[in-house]
Structure 1
Amino acid sequence: MTSTQDVAGATIFRPRTSSWFTALAVVVAVGALASVVATEGPGGLLVGWPLLGIAFAGWWLFWYPTVVVADQGITVRNPLATIDVPWEALIDVDTKYALKLVTPVGAFTAWAAPAPGVWGTHAGKPEHVTNLPSMSYGPGQSIRPGDLKNTDSGYAAYLVRSRWEELVENGALDLDRPSLPQRSWHWRLVVLAVLLAAAATWTLAVGL
């Protein structure tokens, strides 16, 4: 269900399905463009290139979003913005609808770690609800479906809570000088998406 990669002390999380959906978008885009060229000849590239927007959308919506758990904090990279949450700013981790990091200045939801649907909940096994960080459990050792370790939200929460709990136990957090989350918007990607959508709309209108 999930895919992680360790790079320079940081764990990069994204859903395993992200590679499938990204690959599907690329295949659809390339196949459609090849069909246009086969029908119209090489000149078809002049009107068919906006089809590459399908591949871009697949990459932007499925592969680009990640959750990075590192020594200095958690980085949530969503399609529209990246949010850096220092450990000292973290108040709670919620998984009701998706992985959500609660801070003094608001809560930030991770696009890459949605909570499970019915199938994901029923696919849970005993090992997915045991040996979780202590803060995962509610009254009577209960957990939310979104905390199941076999789900996207659950595994991302497991990574965050495990590192957070370790830092707290080791006294490694400077709570007297907390840093606040920082958000940076992906304006270039947004502009590129708008341009590709406009080009596709124009090409379709001209074709009709």
Structure 2
Amino acid sequence: MESSGVAVATVFRSRTSGWFTGIALLVAIGGIVSIAATDGPSGLPAAWPFVAVAFAGWWLFWYPSVVFAADAVTLRNPLATVQVPWAALIDVDTKYALKLVTPTGSFTAWAAPAPGVWGTHAGKVEHLTNLPATSYGPGGSVRPGDLKNTDSGYAAYVVRSRWQDLVETGAIDVDHPDHARRSWNWPAIAVLLLVIGGIAATTLGGPSL
């Protein structure tokens, strides 16, 4: 998992995001270079599928993130971005992925999936101790998705810790929750449509790169 400070915000990405993005870019660059070397500029229309691979790598693995800021948690998912003010948060769940529950609905983070079998077995004692109080279930149980060594668990740990501090200091009014705000990622969707159109046009023998 990756976490990097940006001014007053912290950007979190899945630990595998860099690997998958890098692999996609290498495949795309290798394919385009091979086509250019073999067929020259006239062969570039056939490169659209490799452009699609590069875009998919960025869109599905690198762009998705969870941004922790002073005023809100922002979930950057492929299709939409959701801003959840701290005052809008009423619960945090990690059954399948980090999920923020608000009065207007629940929103899941693409960048913070719950662990599989390997991630669960890799958990250690330090990964399930000293967690925020809301992380524990009946009898002090901890869900696999809450382990701090996992993507969902680390993101949930940061959210719950900050949220708990704000509640305990009275910085947010839990009796008058705020509302989450969702916006569609139209630029990325437009690029997706462009790439699909390029592949379709090339396949049908129409306009190309």
Q: Report if aligned partners of 2:88, 2:102 keep a CA contact under 8 Å in 1.
A: yes
The answer as to 2:4 corresponding to 1:5 is yes
Structure 1 segments (4+ residues) deviating >6 Å: none
Within 5 A, what are the aligned runs for 1:51-200?
51-175=50-174, 177-200=176-199
Partner residue of 1:38? Answer: 37
Counterpart-to-counterpart distance in 2, 1:134 and 1:12 = 24
Provide the identity percentage.
Answer: 64
Deviates more, 1:172-181 or 1:154-163: 172-181
Counterpart-to-counterpart distance in 1, 2:56 and 2:24 = 8
Q: What is the DSSP-based 3-state SS (H/G/I as helix, E as strand, rest coil) of the residue aligned with 2:82?
A: strand
Deviations 1:57-90 (A, max 9, x none): 1001000011011111110110000001111111
Deviates more, 1:49-58 or 1:70-79: 49-58
**TM-aligned CA deviation for residue 43 of structure 1:** 2.1
Counterpart-to-counterpart distance in 1, 2:150 and 2:166 = 24
Q: Report if aligned partners of 1:51, 1:200 keep a CA contact under 8 Å in 2.
A: no
Deviates more, 1:7-16 or 1:53-62: 7-16
Counterpart-to-counterpart distance in 2, 1:144 and 1:16 = 20
Q: Report if aligned partners of 2:167, 2:173 keep a CA contact under 8 Å in 1.
A: no
Counterpart-to-counterpart distance in 2, 1:19 and 1:116 = 17
Deviations 1:5-24 (A, max 9, x none): 11222221111210111111
Distance 1:176 1:138, change over 3 A: closer
What's the TM-score once normalised by structure 1's chain length? 0.94
What's the TM-score once normalised by structure 2's chain length? 0.93
Q: Report if aligned partners of 1:124, 1:148 keep a CA contact under 8 Å in 2.
A: yes
Counterpart-to-counterpart distance in 1, 2:37 and 2:48 = 14
Given residue 158 of structure 1, which amino acid in structure 2 is its aligned partner?
Y
**TM-aligned CA deviation for residue 198 of structure 1:** 2.6
Counterpart-to-counterpart distance in 1, 2:47 and 2:62 = 24
Deviates more, 1:170-179 or 1:16-25: 170-179
Distance 1:140 1:175, change over 3 A: closer
Counterpart-to-counterpart distance in 2, 1:51 and 1:194 = 15
Gaps of 5+ in 1: none
Given residue 161 of structure 2, which amino acid in structure 1 is its aligned partner?
S
Q: Report if aligned partners of 1:132, 1:158 keep a CA contact under 8 Å in 2.
A: yes
